[in-house]
Chains A and B, each alone.
Chain A
Amino acid sequence: MSDPLFEFLCRMGDNTLVLGHRVSEWCGVAPVLEEDIALANTALDLIGQTTLWLNLAGEVEGAGRDADALAFRRDVREFRNLLLVEQPNGDFGRTIMRQFLFDAWHRACLSALCESTHDGIAAIAEKSLKEVTYHLERASDTVIGLGDGTDESHARMQTALDRLWPFVGEMFTGDDVDKAMTSAGIAPDPASLRPAFDEKVTDVLTNATLTPPESDFAHRGGKTGKRHSEHLGHLLTQMQWLQRAYPDATW
């Protein structure tokens, strides 16, 4: 295992990078202009957070890599993002449900990271938390609006929830990296974030008249990098094509 702090920072940065890229795929094609701009704002917030996380990761690694090098020069097996964020956008409802589930975890995680013993991490968390609080509020309202909406929007949101629920468990599954972070007071035990997540998600889903699946089966392998879904590689071919085709291009 490489330096656990480097691993942890890549996990944080890769989550926001991959989700930011996914959300940016809506730019210009969202159902209404207002949502198009709001999604682009969310994507930009996430990419901004990525820059902070991955630059810090590069500093910690000490091998001369910055955020750009980490984002554009790693291959799929070196990515450490959750499986949830690499899932394809699907319809608008599935994109919003993915955003909501991630935001609910992200907000709980960043709230805890504000108390980190690592000053750089606490500072990034504090800055990001303001943005993510808004993301969660917006996503929650939209989940409720669509879930408790028409027959069609309700059905689509329930389908999205059923499809994405198996990716929830990974967010709360710890490993040796997490143990190292927790014992150093750098980051919370992932399992400890579950009550705040459950409280928020139950509240919103109840208002949205949606029901989470009973099974808690969870796909794993994203944050450890052992087994990404097939979708991440395709995403990287889009996100990294310029560096792959024209390495070190400048203009």
Chain B
Amino acid sequence: MQNEWPLWEVFIRGQHGLSHRHVGSLHAADAEGAIKNARDVYTRRNEGVSIWVVEARQIAASSPGDKGPFYEPANDKVYRHPGFFDIPDDAGAM
């Protein structure tokens, strides 16, 4: 619908040192409006220190239909996980 504001995806960084996480989406007329709306919709309880917004149509996404070719080949290759080493006790937590 041409009268609808575009959809924006919202990413919030909870505290310094953590990466931005997707928290949801909202409508806004432009990027600045989207950040203000995100402030009001998603950070009312002190959830964030930084907000990113990106217009939803700008996000390229993998297709759910490609699930098999994309991800299944990794299932039977346990040797890709570094699980076959004995870790010396004095190495501590890895």
Contacts and interface: CB of A to CB of B under 8 A. Distances in A.
B36 A37 contact: no
A141 B41 CA distance: 17
Interface residues of A, number: 11
A38 B33 CA distance: 11
Q: Give the one of A34, A41, A137 with max B CB within 10 A.
A: A34
Tell me the dominant secondary structure on chain A's binding face: helix
Interface residues of B, number: 13
Interface string A138-175: 10010001000000000000000000000000000000
Given A32-B27, A34-B26, A34-B27, A41 B32 contact: no
A41 B44 contact: yes
B37 A38 contact: yes
Nearest to A137: B36
B70 interface: no
Contacts of A145: 29, 33
Given A32-B27, A33-B27, A145-B33, 12 more contacts: A33-B26, A33-B41, A34-B37, A34-B40, A37-B44, A38-B36, A38-B41, A41-B40, A41-B44, A137-B36, A141-B33, A141-B36
29 contacts: A32-B5, A32-B27, A33-B26, A33-B27, A33-B41, A34-B26, A34-B27, A34-B28, A34-B37, A34-B40, A34-B41, A37-B37, A37-B40, A37-B41, A37-B44, A38-B36, A38-B37, A38-B40, A38-B41, A41-B40, A41-B44, A134-B39, A137-B36, A138-B36, A141-B32, A141-B33, A141-B36, A145-B29, A145-B33
